[in-house]
Structure 1
C-alpha cells in the first residue's frame, strides 16, 4: 500500500511567535486522531527547523526541508546540505519545486542530483514536476513531465522506487485556480504510467501528491481519485484550522 502524505510548504513565511502558536493549535487538533497510514510533513524555512523540532514532542508531524543542496559540504555559500537537514530532524525534503525551477533556473539534471544526494543522506525527496499554462495549452504537458521524471530515473536507477513525486501544475500554484479533479487524475495517471514503464513495482509503490491551490473544500475529492496519494499544501498550511481540516478530510478518503 502506498503512503498517504499531507505536506505543508510554508515557503518564505513564519516567525518565532507564529511557529509556537501554530504548533500549539496543531497539537491540540491532532492529539485524539489515530493516523494509521497517514504522514503529515511540515516544511518550514530552514532557519526554523531547530525551533519546530523542539516543539514536536507530542505532535504526530514530521519535518521536511524546502530544498536541499546537491553537495554534501564545501564552499557553497547559502546552501543547506542533506546532513544538516537530517541533523535538525528532517525525514523528507522538497526537491525541484516550481518556484526553484523558475526563480533559480534549476534544470531537470540538477533536480535529479538533489534527489540522489537527499537519498544518500537518509532523506526522502519529494520531487515536484509540472507544466506551465503555455505548455499545457500547446499540448506539451506530457512531454515536459516525462522529461522531468526521466531525468530522475536516469540518475537514480532502481532507487527511484524510494522517492515521492508531487504533481504541481504551475498555473494553479498560488493563483486560487485548482486543476479539476479529472485534470489532476489524468496527470497523476500519466506520471504513474511513466514510472510503470521503468518498473511495475515502482509504479505501484511510489506515492504521487497533488499540489496547486489545495484547500479544505477540495482536499477530500482530490484524495478520492485512484492515483492521488496525498497533497502538497501551500497557503492553506499557514492557517491552522484550514490545514487541520485538510488533514482530517484525508482520513475519510479512499
Structure 2
C-alpha cells in the first residue's frame, strides 16, 4: 500500500523520463489499484507497461473487494503479480490458489508475474531449492508447456 494516486503519477512521470531511451526490455509498473485507470492515460505511447499487484481468479461474482483479470485488462493492464511474498505471508495464499490465478490470467491474455522465494529460516536450513521447486511446480501445475513462455518468474527471497 505505497503511493497515493498523486504520488504514483509523480513517480511515473520521473520514470518515463529516466527510461525514455531504453530499448529491448519490457518495463512494467504495478501501482495500487486506485491509480491504474489514470496511469493508463499517463503511460499511453511510452515504453512502460501497466500491471496489477494482485487479482482474483473468477471473472465475476460476489467477491467483494476483489478484482478480476477482465477488469484489469479493461483498465489497461498487461501484467499481474501473483504469489508475492506479502500475499503468501499475510493472506495465506498458497500455490494451489496462485495456480488458479495464473490460469485465469493466461485465459484473459495477460502475463502473470509469479513471485517465488524462500524465507530466511528456509535458506539457513538449506531448503532454498526445495522451496522454490515446490512453488514453481504448484504455481504451474496443469499448464501446457507451451504456455511457460507467457509466464514471468520473479525470484523474491525474503531475507
Q: Structure 1: where are the runs of 5+ without partners?
A: 1-11, 172-254
Query: Displacement of 1:60 after TM fit?
Result: 1.5
Tell me what 1:29 maps to: 18
- Which protein is bigger by CA-based radius of gyration? 1
Quote the Cα distance in structure 1 between the aligned partners of 2:111 and 2:157.
22
Quote the Cα distance in structure 2 between the aligned partners of 1:53 and 1:102.
30
Query: Displacement of 1:22 after TM fit?
Result: 2.0
The answer as to 2:53 corresponding to 1:63 is: no
Paired residues for 1:101-140 under 5 Å: 101-140=88-127
The answer as to 2:152 corresponding to 1:164 is: yes
Query: Displacement of 1:34 after TM fit?
Result: 4.4
Q: Number of matched residues? A: 158
Normalising by structure 1, we get a TM-score of 0.59
- The alpha-carbon distance between structure 1 residues 154 and 30, as it changes in their structure 2 partners (threshold 3 A), is closer
Tell me what 1:89 maps to: 76
Q: Which runs of 4+ in 1 moved over 3 A?
A: none
| Structural RMSD (CA) | 1.4
Query: Displacement of 1:28 after TM fit?
Result: 2.7
Contact 2:116–2:154 (8 Å) recurs in 1: yes
Quote the Cα distance in structure 1 between the aligned partners of 2:44 and 2:54.
24
Q: Structure 2: where are the runs of 5+ without partners?
A: none
